[in-house]
Amino acid sequence: MVRFESVGLRYGRTGGRDAAPEVLRNISFALPEGAFRWLLGPSGAGKTSLLRLMYLAALPTSGRLTLLGNDIGRTPRRALPRLRRRIGVVFQDFRLLPHLTAFENVALPLRLAGRPEAQVRADVTELLHWVGLAGKLSTLPDELSGGEQQRVAIARAVIARPNLLLADEPTGNLDAAQADRLMMLLNELNRLGTTVIVATHNESLVARYPNSELRLDRGRLVHEP
C-alpha cells in the first residue's frame, strides 16, 4: 500500500554545494493495506513533509516511494492525477475553494472522477448531514466557522472513498465532542479497508485511540511499529 525505501526530501535545490537541507532523511517503512497510524513528532520534525510525499504534492529527491502499487519515481506525470483521486487529504489549513459552496467543495472529488450527477447529489448531501452541516449546503467557506470548515474539508477528503486517507492535524479546530466524531468516522473508514495516517500533536486524542505510531524527529524516523 505504502512503502518508503531510504526516501529523502529537500525543498529547493536538490544538488550541488548549495543544495537545500534534507528535511526528511533515509526514511524507510511499509504500511499494509488497512493500517491505521498516528504520525507524531515535535513541530518542524517533518510530519507535513512526509504526508506531502504521500499525497503527491512533493516527489522524493532520493530513495524509492511506492504508493498504491505504483513506483512513483517511474510513474509518468500524466498518470499521477488518477492516483491522487484515490488519496484523500485533510489539510491543516482546510484548503477549501473559497468561491464554491460547502456542497460543491465536497462534490469536487466525485465530479473530477466523473461520477453521475444524481449520485453526487445523494452522496454529498448524505455526508454533509452526517458531519452536521445539513443546513450549510449552499454556504461559502468564508461564512462557516473554523470547525465547520474543517468538517467540510474532512467530508471532501472521504467522499470518494479513498484507498489512502491522510490527515494533517485534523482536530486543530474541533472541540472534544467533534474530535471524537471525527475519530469515529476515521475508524469506520479504516474498518472498511481504508489505510489511514493522522499527523497530530493532540496527545490526549492519541491516548484515547491507541494505534501504532510513526514517530519523526528532525527529519528521521525514530520509531516505527
Partner 1 sequence: MKLASGRTTRGDELGLKRALSGLMLPALVGAMAFLAALSLAGWEGSSSLARSWRDGARAALTVQVPRPNEAALGGNRLNVAVSLLSVAPGVASVHPLTEAEVAKLLRPWIGGDGGPVTIPLPAVIAVRLTGDDIDTEPLRRQLADAVPGIAMEDHGQWVRRLSDLAWSLQACSLLAVALVSAVAVAVIAVATRAGLMARREAIEILHGLGATDSFIAGRFARRATVLALAGGLVGTVLVLPVVSVLSGLIAPFTGTATTEATTVGSALATVPVSLWADMAALPAGAALIGFLTAQGTVRRWLRRLP
Ligand X SMILES: Nc1ncnc2c1ncn2[C@@H]1O[C@H](COP(=O)(O)OP(=O)(O)OP(=O)(O)O)[C@@H](O)[C@H]1O
Does 43 engage in binding with ligand X (CB under 6 A)?
yes
Instruction: Name the residue nearer to ligand X (CB basis): 115 or 201.
Output: 201
Q: Which residues contact 113 (CB under 8 A, 6 or more apart)?
A: 85, 160
Q: Beta 212-217 vs 220-223: how paired, if at all?
A: antiparallel
Does 67 engage in binding with partner 1 (CB under 8 A)?
no
> Taking a C-beta distance cutoff of 8 angstroms, is the pair 104, 141 a contact?
no
> Taking a C-beta distance cutoff of 8 angstroms, is the pair 60, 7 a contact?
yes
**7, 40, 41, 96: which one contacts ligand X (CB under 6 A)?**
41
> Taking a C-beta distance cutoff of 8 angstroms, is the pair 115, 192 a contact?
no
Q: How far is Cα 108 from Cα 159, in angstroms, rounded to an integer?
A: 9
Q: Which stretch binds ligand X (CB under 6 A): 42-50, 68-76, 103-111, 120-128?
A: 42-50
Instruction: Name the residue nearer to ligand X (CB basis): 46 or 60.
Output: 46
What element of type H or E holds 166?
strand 164-168
Residue 62 CB, shortest distance to ligand X, in Å, is 16
Question: Which residue's entry shows cell 447529489?
Answer: 121
Instruction: Name the residue nearer to partner 1 (CB basis): 98 or 210.
Output: 98
**25, 37, 47, 151: which one contacts ligand X (CB under 6 A)?**
47
Q: Answer positive or negative: Cα dihedral of 73, 55, 85, 70.
A: positive
Per-residue x/- mask for ligand X, residues 6 to 25, rule CB under 6 A? -----x-----------x--
Q: b/e for 141-179, b at 16 or more Cβ within 10 A?
A: beebeebbbbbbbbbbbbbbebbbbbbbbbbbbbeeebb
Does 60 engage in binding with ligand X (CB under 6 A)?
no
Q: Which stretch binds partner 1 (CB under 8 A): 8-16, 53-61, 62-70, 178-186?
A: 53-61
Does 173 engage in binding with ligand X (CB under 6 A)?
no
Binding site for partner 1 (CB under 8 A): 55-59, 77-78, 80-85, 89, 95-101, 103-104, 108-109, 111-113, 121, 124-125, 137-138, 156
Binding site for ligand X (CB under 6 A): 11, 23, 41, 43-49
